[in-house]
Amino acid sequence: MPSTILKSAAKTTPIWFVTKDSWRKVRAGLPRTAAAFAEANGFEPGPGRLAILPDASGAIESVLFGVAPEGARHIDQFAPGRLASLLPEGAYRFANDPPGGKNALETATLAWALSAYRFARYRPSTAKWPRLVAPDGVDAARVERMAEGHALARDLVNTPANDMGPNALEAAATDFARRHRATHKVTRGQALLKGNFPLIHAVGKAASEEPRLFDMSWGPAKAPRITLVGKGVCFDTGGLDIKPSSAMLLMKKDMAGAATALALAHMIIDAKLPVRLRVLLPIVENSIAGAAFRPGDIYPSRKGLSVEIGNTDAEGRLILADALALADEEEPELLLDFATLTGAARVALGPDLPPFYTMDDALAEDIAKTGMTANDPVWRLPLWEPYDQLLDGKISTINNVSSGPFAGSITAALFLRRFVEKSRCWVHFDIYGWNPSTKPGRPEGGETQTARLLYTLIEKRYARK
């Protein structure tokens, strides 16, 4: 969809953020007709309240939008995003700063851009959107690249599996690499076995479209190495341990990890950050057929560990294991993986707060703080060492599920940790990749979690001074 953020406009309508404390001052500065209209309609500046005020001719003179006051227990910094879907067509500007600290103005601008997203592949929209002139001091290009990354990932996740199977996801990733002038290669089907990716092959071999590994590189060879690994399960039936029908309804989103990796890659590349970026996407469909892998099967892995299949519905960690082992061989400075991996993460933290895991305490603190600053929150959960033994295999090195029903997200992270040894810093994000309902900046449907916070963190660490 076209951008809703403008660099400038000949004529703009002011939007005033108002609280109970600031309303008197804002009202005093309004033209007489607009102020009288607000009074006559009983405008009260509670959070989310909207008033569109006319001038003497009936044209829109200004807009009032109620927000939580500074110091409130919770301030939704994306609340101004509601305006992108509530206001009529036209050019607008923020007349004052919203509460929420020094980043609030950029966050409000980003919320506007994110709220304007619509998935129109199957039901084209002719709606005309209001547009916002980027406020002074806000980096409009930065806001745009984050919004573009979100739109890319949301489109991929929202597309149903009949149009976003392994072939289509590979095509989207290949198009991405070509547009960004990145090198890439793809290993498919039987070539996965020759290339020593047996777990990726095992998970996807029953599907009508071959399993594959997409491998992309961008940036100077001698720059700091950052590798992104994204789970690309285009649809997950659960395999022979089949899911109930209700659990399959959203399984088109099981490739949200791959979509997130591409979204973050777009932000990094568009910003021309001085890093050597690698993106690895193991892409499969977990289907049921005569060739499907079975509970109790044992497969080798790229790492050399033998893996017993305790449950075929724990397939995401299997394909990630081979991809992580490949990434680890290059000893990147920062290795990040993204996966819609466990329902246990949602039980613990819900859909809006992805857990993350790392052995680096300093990095974990930086990630948590940056997530709050970027309004892209995450929560650290522990790689609890005593639980690691729950994964020990009886006739194999490791089982892909634990021997008990507890701590499912933690044991999944511990499984992945077995395949990372050399990387300086590794972080695993157990994302949901979906908004169950529409909120400001977060329309219902596919979502891009953790990409903004990691772009902000990488930008801070590696951007040219």
CA distance 239 to 292: 7
Give ∠ CA 341-344-345 in degrees, rounded to 5: 70
Query: Which of 156, 398, 441, 226 is closest to 300 using CA atoms?
Result: 398
Label the pairing between strands 307-308 and 434-435.
unpaired
Residues marked active site are found at: 243, 317
| Helix, strand counts (H, E) of the chain | 15, 20
Q: Which helix (H) or strand (E) holds 231?
A: none
- Confirm if 199 and 280 have CB atoms less than 8 A apart: no
- Confirm if 17 and 25 have CB atoms less than 8 A apart: no
Q: Which helix (H) or strand (E) holds 417?
A: helix 408-417
CA distance 428 to 417: 9
- Confirm if 340 and 257 have CB atoms less than 8 A apart: yes
Q: What is the 3-state secondary structure of 116-134? A: CCCCCCCCCCCCCCEEEEC
The total of other beta-carbon atoms located within 10 Å of residue 3's CB is 16
- Confirm if 253 and 207 have CB atoms less than 8 A apart: no
Q: Which helix (H) or strand (E) holds 432?
A: none
Q: What are phi and psi of 304, to 5 degrees?
A: 100, -5
Residue with tokens 């008033």: 51
CA distance 228 to 336: 5
The alpha-helical segments, DSSP class H, found in 29-165 are: 32-40, 83-86, 104-115, 140-158
